[in-house]
Amino acid sequence: MNFSGVLLVLHLFDNPNVEISTIEHILLLSWSIWNNRNRSVFRQLVPSPSQTCYGAANFGTSYWLANRLVPKQKISRSFHIKWKPPDDNQVKLNFDGSVKHGVASTGFCIRDSNGNPIIAATRRIGHAGVLTAEATALRDGLSSALLNQHLSIWVEGDCKLLIDCILKKTPPPWRIKLLVDDIACLAAKFHSIRFRHIFREANFVADKLADLGFRSSTPLVWFHCLPVSVFPAFHLDQLGGGCCRGFSL
């Protein structure tokens, strides 16, 4: 395909009135012409126009049959995942645990009904599994909320197994049984508490805080502010636009 042909195809891509199937057919035919041109130059074969069209159709059919997919539905904004602030006079705790090379770190953030940070913290806890890191982060967050007299709280985390253990939907694995017991004791001291599992895409702030713990040998705590590296995640939550499943920062 010469330069003018490339410009034509690019123009077709930019034209909303051109069907995708039309562009596919043009590209297949262009490929077949190029392929037969190479056969003519290097193998001295002289294909006919009908052979060129047949080659494009045959290759296209084989490809589509081998790669058939269920058409993807357009994702409505209503299905976007996003962090939501708690009701008035309540706070929300997001927590997360992370493990790298066998070393675990925890992070949590408590925010008010306007989405502003009240307390954020992270710490490295040494060699542990992800489930232990998640449970430790939750316990630390609840302890901090109680210490600062935030007694009406929503709790969100992206570890479904841990949330199910807290809600007694499933028995806790032995590795975190004592941690789950501690969490239950702490939860009983709140005036109001609600636990909910969320997707990771609504838990980016806690995720970034947990990642910071690997970089410090001592616990880090912030009051009414956040570290600079967490700003992109925080602003994404504050804007309220949300993101699709699989999005990462």
- What are the DSSP calls for 208-228, one per residue? HHHHHGGG-SS-EEEES---G
Residue extents of the structural domains in the chain = 3-69, 91-239
Instruction: Give residue 3's pLDDT.
Output: 47
Instruction: Give residue 111's pLDDT.
Output: 98
Provide the 10 A C-beta neighbour count for residue 52: 16
**Residue 224 CB partners (closer than 8 Å, separation 6+):** 116, 117, 118
Instruction: Give residue 212's pLDDT.
Output: 96
CA-to-CA distance for 167 and 152, rounded, in angstroms? Answer: 17
CA-to-CA distance for 214 and 222, rounded, in angstroms? Answer: 16
Structure tokens at 88: 């008035």
The highest-level CATH class for domain 91-239 is: alpha beta
Instruction: Give residue 220's pLDDT.
Output: 97
Instruction: Give residue 141's pLDDT.
Output: 98
Q: Give the helix ranges, DSSP H, for the chain.
A: 3-14, 20-43, 49-66, 130-147, 160-166, 177-187, 204-212, 231-239
Among 110, 88, 90, 115, CA closest to 240? 115
pLDDT, tens digit only, all 249 positions of the chain: 444 554 455 555 555 555 656 666 676 677 777 777 777 777 777 767 766 666 666 666 665 665 555 455 554 444 579 999 999 999 999 999 999 999 999 999 999 999 999 999 999 999 999 999 999 999 999 999 999 999 999 999 999 999 999 999 999 999 999 999 999 999 999 999 999 999 999 999 999 999 999 999 999 999 999 999 999 999 999 988 778 888 887
Instruction: Give residue 75's pLDDT.
Output: 45
Phi and psi for 216 in degrees, rounded to 5?
-130, 140
Instruction: Give residue 70's pLDDT.
Output: 47
Q: Are strands 192-197 and 152-157 parallel, antiparallel or unpaired?
A: parallel
Instruction: Give residue 64's pLDDT.
Output: 61
Instruction: Give residue 76's pLDDT.
Output: 47
